[in-house]
Each structure stands twice: as structure tokens, then as C-alpha cells.
Chain A
Amino acid sequence: MATERMTVAAAMVKALEQEGIKHIFGYPGAAICPFFDELIKSDIQNILVRHEANSGHAAAGYARITGKPAVCAATSGPGATNLITAIATAHMDSVPLIAITGQVVSNQIGRDAFQEADITGASEPFVKHSFLVKDGTTIAEVMKKAFYISGTGRPGPVLIDVPMDIQKQEIDFEYPDTVEIRSYKPSFLGNKLQIKKAAEALKNSSKPLICAGGGIFTVNASGELLQLSEMCDIPVISTMMGIGAIPTEHKNYYGMLGVFGVETAKYALKECDLLIALGARMSDRSVTSLSPFHETVVIHIDVDPAEIGKNSPVNIPIVGDVKKVLEQLLTELNEMKHPRWQDMLYTHKSERVKRNTDNEKSAELVSPKYFVKTLCKYLPDKCAVCSDVGSNQIWAANNVVLSGQGRFITSGGMGTMGYAYPAAVGIKTAEPDREVVALSGDGSFQMSFMELATAVQHGINVKGVVFVNNYLGMVREYQDKNFEGRRTMVDLSGSPDFLKIAEAYGIKGETVSGNDRVECAVKKMIEANEPYLLQVMVDRTERSLIE
């Protein structure tokens, strides 16, 4: 490609085109106007959100479903600081997000100019890397590096801050095909010796267990995971980020572990004699205490060496691309059978399922667990279930049913309320033929329901579900347990009728107030060929877990 004379703003747009970007989620302000002005000339579609945090969440949803970096853009100062929650959320969940922010003109930087915020400084703890572009001639290199860093290795957010005058600077632009960063070597094979050791340990194990994390999706390693689990007859549990890594109804899958996980998954973790953690951080939320690992051989496979041994002791660390390591490991292994171990877990699971189903029938209003299961019964295989944070997240996580193509998308590491709807907007934008449902709590929904407007304006056919319990339910639960039931700041009285809210945006919907209405309402929602909202009335005392 020959060099062309153009402004930095035009060069940024050209770079995005070169990276295959089709959509940007953004919100304007003076400092980012030169960039947006150039975007008009491009085929890249700009989707106007209603709050910058949601531009980040939408781009994150987009990135998680496509597996490639997605872009959000905001103006300087408050626009940029509004982005921070989304950046931090993406960082925690290793999502490749490119955040572009306008900055005040170069010679005003450091003087507390109007709408100046040190966004590279403020976002520093939450980015994989960031750039403050002080010299427009570096823009091609910066953009190329940003995409490379964000999308490879352990993905993460990269922020590019561009002062207004720099955006207008004229430069010679040529987009490089490749980029070399000497200090950054993101993707690699696992150490052969370690892989042999792991295979050996697996052969000696009678109760092996796989814990699948979000890293499986990063490198699209579901196939290899399934192969390992089936060939070697190994039960699988997952972290919240790893839900759907293998089909939830697979006979080898025993559910999510962790504080809010299912009993069988926790039981499996306690009983196993060998654990393979795959692209999972083994965070405090997943592994409640370190003691389960006492006698267990732990094989930890992750692309980020810093995660290995950070949260729990590891016997056989393998650093590398999870997909490649699995491929390597598979060549070292032959068929295995663990019928007694599988039986043990299966029996445990069956008892629990029965107890749960009995519970659901007695629910007076709508049982949210029953709702999630029914929803999934009617969703096509190619779907995405986005969930917010709170009890609703746990209801969704522990009851969602996904086949190979289905995805469960939630804010795992950060637990950011308001994530579901904008993330769903992003996913639906990326893949219009995927059925996308956002499940929210009534508290969470009130943090992002302004995005109903985004869905309407851009014709993004997202289905929303609000579980109304008129409480910040999970916090109420926490207070009940830890503060002798003194409930403060958790009553959501004053909340609106969400159906009326939807109506005000011109969105159709329905209020569902009994289990008997669920099936019909769900079918109608899925059939709708436009944005749609279900307001689901659940028992105020419904808890996150049944146990």
C-alpha cells in the first residue's frame, strides 16, 4: 500500500477499516469530533449509545462473540472517565476492547483545561496497554500495535488517547501489514516436558476433573476440550466465564463451581485427585478455599504465566495457548474410562436435580430458574444469553442450557451491574442471525435501560428480560446472612413499571406474573422480529441458590 496524505483522524478510520472493523459504539463530544467526522465517509457504522460505559459493554459483547477486538469511542474528560467501568470490566474478563478517546489539544494538556482528564493515567490499572498519541506520524503504528496487543495472547483492553489537534494533523499514512514488539511474544506452544508430565499424571489418576474457564472461548478451544473430556472420560466443571465451553447438557458436564456454583461441581472439586484448570484464573470467587487442592494434583494451563500459581498452588504448570496445549496433550493420550468416578458424580447430580425441580413447582409467582430453563428450551442453538449481576446472574448461570453454538455472556470478574443489555446490543450487532436475550435484575436494568433507545434507533433486535423482585436481591441476601437480617439500601420501591418504560421507547412486551404464563410469553418474545421486553415478576424472597 502506498502512502497517502491525510489527517490523523482519517488515518484512524482507514486503520479501523484495515482491521476489518464494521461497527463502532460511541458517544461524541468536541474532542472526538474530528474522528467521528471522518467516520461518515467510511462504511463503518457508528452506533450511538446513551452512556459511554455502555459503548464499552456493547463493544465487549461484540468482541466476545466475534473473538476479535471491537471498538468503542468517547470524548475527552467525562466521556473518557465514563468508559472506565467498561474498560475495567473487559480487563477482568480478558476481552479485546479498543477504546478510542479524544483528548484536549496538546498544548493544553496538564493545565486542567476544560474537559481534560488524564485518561491514560486513570485507566492504567485496567488496560493491557495504552497510548497517548503526541505525534500524529506514529498513528499507523499505534493503531496496528493496539489491535495486535489487544487481540493476542491473553486479550485485554487497549486505550488510544488522541488530542484534538493531533486528530487534525496532516500526515503520510501507510498501514503496516505486521508489527513487531520485541518485549511481547503472545502465543506459543506448551513446554513438551510439562505436557508429558501432565499426560503421565492423568494416566495415574482415577478421579480426574477438568475446570474450564473463559480462556477456552478466547482461542476457540471447545472442540479440543470436548475431545479430551470424551476420549479420556473426564468430567468437566466450569467457572462462570467458562459456562458453555462444552454443551451444558453433555453427560460429562457437572456445572459451575464457586461461591454460587452448583453442589455437584463443588463436590467434584473436593473429591477429584487431579484437576486440569484450562484457561481459568481459579479466582477467589471460584475456588472458595485452597484446601480442596490438598491431595489433588493440579495441572494449570494458561496463556498468562502470571495467573499460574497466583491463586492456588500448582503441581504442573503449562504456559501456552490453551488450544495448542490441548492439541499437544491429546497426542500424548489414549482412551481412558472412569466409570466409578462418573457414577459418583452422576448420582450426586441426579439427587440435586430432583430436589430443585420439586422446589420450582411450588413457586408462587414466576420461578426464575424455571423461567431460564423454559427460555432455553425455545431458544435456537445459535443464541446468546447475557446476564446481569445479582441473584439473576446466578439463576441464569446455573440454569442456562446451551448447545455447542450457544454462548453465556456476563461480567464475571468485575460483576458489573448493567452489563447485560448493552452487551446484548453489541452481540446482536455483530451477529444479527443469533438470537440474543439479556437477562437483568430490576436493579441492574435501571443502570442501563437507556440503551433501549439504542436498540430502537439502530433496529437492533435484542430481547430483554427483567426479573422484578423489587430488591437488590443479592445484597439483601448478603445482609440477611451477615448482618442479622438488617436490610438497608436494598428496597427498590419507586422503580417504574418496566413494561411502561418499554412502551415509552416504542418497544413491545409483556408482564409475566405466573409460571403458567412463562412458556407462551417466551415463545412470543422469541418470535418477535423487533426489540422486545418481558417483565418477569418473581417472588421477593427468591434466593440465588436453592441449597
Chain B
Amino acid sequence: MKHTISILVENNAGVLARISGLFARRGFNIYSLAVGVTDNEKVSRITIVADGDDYTLEQIEKQLNKLIDVIKVRTVKPDELLQRELVLVKVSCTAAQRHELISIAKITQAKISDISIDSMTLELSDCESRLENFQELLRPYGIKEVVRTGTIAIQKGTAALRA
């Protein structure tokens, strides 16, 4: 089962290595990992989507909590989470196909970020399943390149994860 784990860490050198090392060492699989600084410049937030049963998740959380640079760890149930990921997709696009792609962008609420004689780059921020849908829609045109940021997540409602 996939879990989305939010981790607040001290913004110290090497902290990412400690965390990714821990996952590798203890055999926890990472699907995606996204890092960025929070509103406090000394604190970064790492969002990891990882795979594992309940036992594994419990171990991941406990082991993360043991790292000195880890301030807080929280795993929230998927339905209580707002999840977002950004994807950039570069597809082949002849002049004749432009209108089709523009209408796909409109329906999916994607942005057209770049265009050239024979290609178009679309940008979409959404949840994982919609991104996958989006890619499927573009596939027939010939995908040249896909870049994804990895999922970030925030809890719905007023609850906040702060250092």
C-alpha cells in the first residue's frame, strides 16, 4: 500500500542523505520524494510516497523519528490529504494538431508552457491519478519527454504540520 509521509527536518547539510539512506538501508521503497524549504528558512519539508504494509510504515516512522535532524513525521490518510504533483510533458505536435492539443489543455486545465514548430510542452498540476490520465491523453501524439516533481501534500482543513 502507498503512504504519503510528510517530514519536517532541520535544514542541515546531509539531512536528505540521512533520510534516503535510511529508506535504502531498511528496504523501504520510495515512489517519489519532494523537498522544499518551509516558511521558516531553517526548516525543510520532505514529502515521501512510499510503499509498505502497516508494520513497514510504523517502522519507517519510528526510524525517521530517531534521526536527530527530523523534527516531525506525519502520515495522513489519503482521503484527508490534498495531494499535488506537477508534470511537464513535451509532445510532438504538428501545426495541424495544435488545435486538438489546445482543447485537451483546456479540458484538463493544463497550461501550454512552450511551443515550437513540431512540439508543444504542457504543464499540469494535479493529483497523481489525473496526471496519469493526462499522460494517456497525450500519448497518441508522441510523448518526447515527461518530467514530474513528485507528490507534495498538505492536510485538508485547519490542521497544520509545523515545527
User: B71, A183: Cβ atoms under 8 Å?
Assistant: yes
User: A149, B68: Cβ atoms under 8 Å?
Assistant: yes
For residue B25, which residue of chain A has the nearest CB? Answer: A125
User: B65, A305: Cβ atoms under 8 Å?
Assistant: yes
Rounded to whole angstroms, the CA-CA distance of A183 and B12 in the bound complex is 13
Q: A306-B66, A309-B58 are in contact. Are A183 and B10 (CB under 8 A)?
A: yes
Q: A184-B68, A310-B59 are in contact. Are A121 and B25 (CB under 8 A)?
A: no
User: B63, A183: Cβ atoms under 8 Å?
Assistant: no
Q: Decide yes or no whether A349 CB sits under 8 A from chain B.
A: no
Query: With a CB–CB cut-off of 8 A, which chain A residues contact B66?
Result: 304, 306
A434 to chain B, nearest CB (A): 33
Q: Decide yes or no whether A120 CB sits under 8 A from chain B.
A: yes
User: B70, A183: Cβ atoms under 8 Å?
Assistant: yes
A183 to chain B, nearest CB (A): 4
Size of A's binding interface in residues, CB under 8 A: 18
Rounded to whole angstroms, the CA-CA distance of A513 and B58 in the bound complex is 54
What 0/1 pattern do residues 118 to 142 of B give for CB contact below 8 A with A?
A: 0000000000000000000000000
Q: Decide yes or no whether B27 CB sits under 8 A from chain A.
A: no
Query: With a CB–CB cut-off of 8 A, which chain A residues contact B55?
Result: 309
Q: Decide yes or no whether B21 CB sits under 8 A from chain A.
A: yes
Rounded to whole angstroms, the CA-CA distance of A181 and B18 in the bound complex is 18
Q: Decide yes or no whether B111 CB sits under 8 A from chain A.
A: no
User: A183, B13: Cβ atoms under 8 Å?
Assistant: no
User: A124, B68: Cβ atoms under 8 Å?
Assistant: no
Q: Decide yes or no whether A463 CB sits under 8 A from chain B.
A: no
**Which of B18, B25, B63 counts the most A-chain CB atoms under 10 A from its CB?**
B18
Query: With a CB–CB cut-off of 8 A, which chain B residues contact A304?
Result: 66
B48 to chain A, nearest CB (A): 17
B residues 63-86 touching A (CB-CB < 8 Å)? 63, 65-66, 68-72
Q: Decide yes or no whether A129 CB sits under 8 A from chain B.
A: yes
Rounded to whole angstroms, the CA-CA distance of A309 and B63 in the bound complex is 13
Size of B's binding interface in residues, CB under 8 A: 20
Rounded to whole angstroms, the CA-CA distance of A124 and B67 in the bound complex is 11
B residues 16-75 touching A (CB-CB < 8 Å)? 17-18, 21, 25, 55, 58-59, 62-63, 65-66, 68-72
B143 to chain A, nearest CB (A): 37
User: A182, B71: Cβ atoms under 8 Å?
Assistant: yes
User: B14, A132: Cβ atoms under 8 Å?
Assistant: yes
User: B17, A306: Cβ atoms under 8 Å?
Assistant: no
For residue B70, which residue of chain A has the nearest CB? Answer: A183
Q: Decide yes or no whether B112 CB sits under 8 A from chain A.
A: no
For residue B72, which residue of chain A has the nearest CB? Answer: A183
The residue from B14, B59, B68 contacting A306, defined by CB atoms under 8 A apart? B59
The residue from A124, A134, A149 contacting B17, defined by CB atoms under 8 A apart? A124
A437 to chain B, nearest CB (A): 35
Rounded to whole angstroms, the CA-CA distance of A254 and B110 in the bound complex is 71
For residue B163, which residue of chain A has the nearest CB? Answer: A182
Q: Decide yes or no whether A428 CB sits under 8 A from chain B.
A: no
User: A132, B62: Cβ atoms under 8 Å?
Assistant: no
For residue B68, which residue of chain A has the nearest CB? Answer: A129
Q: Decide yes or no whether A128 CB sits under 8 A from chain B.
A: yes
A–B Cβ pairs within 8 angstroms, 11 of them:
A121-B17, A134-B13, A149-B68, A183-B68, A183-B71, A183-B72, A304-B66, A306-B59, A309-B55, A309-B58, A310-B59
Given contacts A124-B18, A149-B68, A183-B68, 13 further A-B contacts (CB under 8 A): A120-B14, A121-B17, A132-B13, A132-B14, A181-B68, A183-B70, A184-B68, A304-B66, A306-B62, A309-B55, A309-B58, A310-B59, A310-B62
The 8 closest A-B pairs by CB, nearest first: A306-B62, A183-B71, A129-B68, A305-B62, A125-B25, A184-B68, A306-B63, A124-B21
